[in-house]
Structure 1
Amino acid sequence: MSVKERDPLTGHQTTGHEWNGITELNTRVPRSVWFFIIVTHIFALIAWILLPTWPLVTTYTKGLLDRDQRDQVEAKVVAANVARADWADRITATPVSEILEQPELLARSNGTAHQIFGDNCAGCHGQDAGGGPGFPSLTDDAWLWGGDPETIMETLRVGINATHPDTRYAQMLAFGRDGLLEREDIRIVVDYVQSLSGAEISPDRAAAGEEIYVNNCSGCHGATALGDTEQGAPNLTDAFWIYGGDDKAMFDTIWDGRQGWMPAWEGRLTETERKILTVYLTDLAQEATP
């Protein structure tokens, strides 16, 4: 077949290639394609000349416009810090209790806190700070280490079971996995703990559960099971459960133990930002309290 043969329908020359009766045409590249190729190459050439483009050994070509996006971002950050310096300095110098009583300053603080919380805390505690399985709610009054502003500030600073030298440490033993309690003993103490918040069990089972509790659990959770904020041990008599208060969840907790973790935010967030978060969380807890 000659390469110069023409297709009878279109009049275009063929390439001489044929697949299953389909002949390949030797058509020209559309002018619009050439146009865009030329325009993009011209644009690229202009960009190479005007904008930062080529990496060098220790630097890069600056371009005739001498524009640097990093410098632009840094300038915007400086401008933003200057714009908020007046109220940020007031937050730094004002106790949390007083900030909560000043609507204008509280609104400024919470407006920024929402972004800080969303960027750093919402991944675990949820956008509404309501928590979830394994992560405590921050809108109630069931605080493991205490919910007063000073304690919240310190928890944010050092974290829990984190790498900070002053971090808070807390761990619940794996009573079943490590052979400290038998399965039936764990089931009995689960029933007993549930009875502390209203569940009904027989007097004999309650007595047996109380004995197991006193011998194994009271050292952390207290003789009355009200918890201990010095150790981060939760109250077992209320309706707030981090990992769940049903039979299976409680059995798993006692069998395998628990060790929560929260990063230390000192070094990641400034003291003012941690204070803004503290104000935000304190305000959320007050709004949620009936």
Structure 2
Amino acid sequence: MSDKHVDEVSGVATTGHEWDGIRELDNPMPRWWLWTLYATIVWSIGYVIAYPAIPLISSATPGLLGYSSRAEVVAELAEAQIAQGTLLEKIAATPLDEIASDPELLQFAIAGGSSAFKVNCAQCHGSGAAGSAGYPNLNDDDWLWGGTVDDIYLTIAHGVRYGADDDTRYSEMPAFGDMLETSQINEVAAYVVSLSDTPREPAMVEPGKVIYTENCAACHGDNGEGITDFGAPRLSDGIWLKGSTEAEIAAQIRNPKHGAMPAWVGRLGARAIKQLAVYVHTLGGGQ
């Protein structure tokens, strides 16, 4: 005689477990579920036999099919390199100013340059190339060393004030705190601000212009338009690298800060530098 408890409502025996007066019905699993479970067990056994599955000390069982996901990735990378090979050779052989006339080559150069930028340049210039304090914005049309694709190539390849490269871009603004009185520096700062805005004391503009002409125009231009041959920034617009207030401009005149950028040609190679130059040139501010 069975001593199993039978539920009075459903007539189904319970498992014998009870929690706070609640019992569990001992219903059998649905057949479809059981057959699905059996099928997955059979499939898993077949998988272990056919594919790498069981870890060993320094490897794993290879499986009868000899499949390797790593080998598959290596093969896919090899195919990609072969596919890129022709375009990379074409990039190397095509002058920079002619790449833009070939739509396929231009698209390839921009894609490669974008990838190289994110890995090597975004740390200083930002992921969107908008720059930050002391690091130039590459989206605008203000270029210290010129904004043509050839100019950009030379700047990236040889860097700025990078002592290990003999062809690096190099210029330094002297510290005028050793040459001008504080009042004269403030007057020059007022004049520089007047080129794009209104200074705090307009009366200082005219004497500041005289001092500017005698000391600054040779590099920054008669009207503050800048001279890219010297890496001297334009002073007549609203784009500033070291600060735009009169106090910040006066501080830069008194004791200028000079940034530096490494030369990338030795690390990335000429083809990658070409792609980077094309990418930066197409951001919107290239000349």
TM-score by length of 2: 0.70
> Structure 1 stretch 231-240 or stretch 247-256: which is displaced more?
247-256
Return the letter of the residue paired with 1:83: A
In 2, the alpha carbon distance for the partners of 1:75 and 1:248 equals 60
- RMSD of aligned residue pairs (Cα, Å): 2.8
Aligned to 1:87: 87
Aligned to 1:239: 238
Return the letter of the residue paired with 1:243: K
- Aligned pairs for 1:24-173 (under 5 A) are 46-48=56-58, 50=59, 79-162=79-162, 163-173=164-174
The one-character-per-residue Cα deviations of 1:222-280 (angstroms, maximum 9, x if unpaired) are 22221111110111111211112112321221122121101001111111111101111
Q: CA deviation at 1:111?
A: 1.7
What are structure 1's unaligned runs of at least 5 residues? Answer: 1-42, 52-64
What are structure 2's unaligned runs of at least 5 residues? Answer: 1-53, 61-65
Confirm or deny: 8 A CA contact 1:228 1:235 kept in the other structure: yes
Aligned to 1:269: 268
Return the letter of the residue paired with 1:154: L
Q: CA deviation at 1:79?
A: 4.9
Aligned to 1:213: 212
In 1, the alpha carbon distance for the partners of 2:262 and 2:281 equals 20
> Structure 1 stretch 266-275 or stretch 239-248: which is displaced more?
239-248
The one-character-per-residue Cα deviations of 1:20-58 (angstroms, maximum 9, x if unpaired) are xxxxxxxxxxxxxxxxxxxxxxx99x324x48xxxxxxx
In 2, the alpha carbon distance for the partners of 1:223 and 1:201 equals 22
CA 1:262–1:107: 2 relative to 1, 3 Å: same
Aligned to 1:180: 179
The one-character-per-residue Cα deviations of 1:144-197 (angstroms, maximum 9, x if unpaired) are 111111111111111110020111112122222xx2222222221111001112
In 1, the alpha carbon distance for the partners of 2:180 and 2:261 equals 29
Greater radius of gyration (CA): 2
The one-character-per-residue Cα deviations of 1:41-81 (angstroms, maximum 9, x if unpaired) are xx99x324x48xxxxxxxxxxxxx9x9x9x99988765543
Q: CA deviation at 1:220?
A: 1.6
SS in 2 for 1:248: helix
CA 1:188–1:109: 2 relative to 1, 3 Å: same
Confirm or deny: 8 A CA contact 1:171 1:260 kept in the other structure: no
TM-score by length of 1: 0.69
In 2, the alpha carbon distance for the partners of 1:152 and 1:199 equals 33
In 2, the alpha carbon distance for the partners of 1:186 and 1:73 equals 63
Return the letter of the residue paired with 1:98: E
CA 1:74–1:144: 2 relative to 1, 3 Å: farther
Aligned to 2:280: 281
CA 1:75–1:270: 2 relative to 1, 3 Å: farther
Return the letter of the residue paired with 1:85: G
CA 1:186–1:112: 2 relative to 1, 3 Å: same
Aligned to 1:6: none
Q: CA deviation at 1:96?
A: 3.3
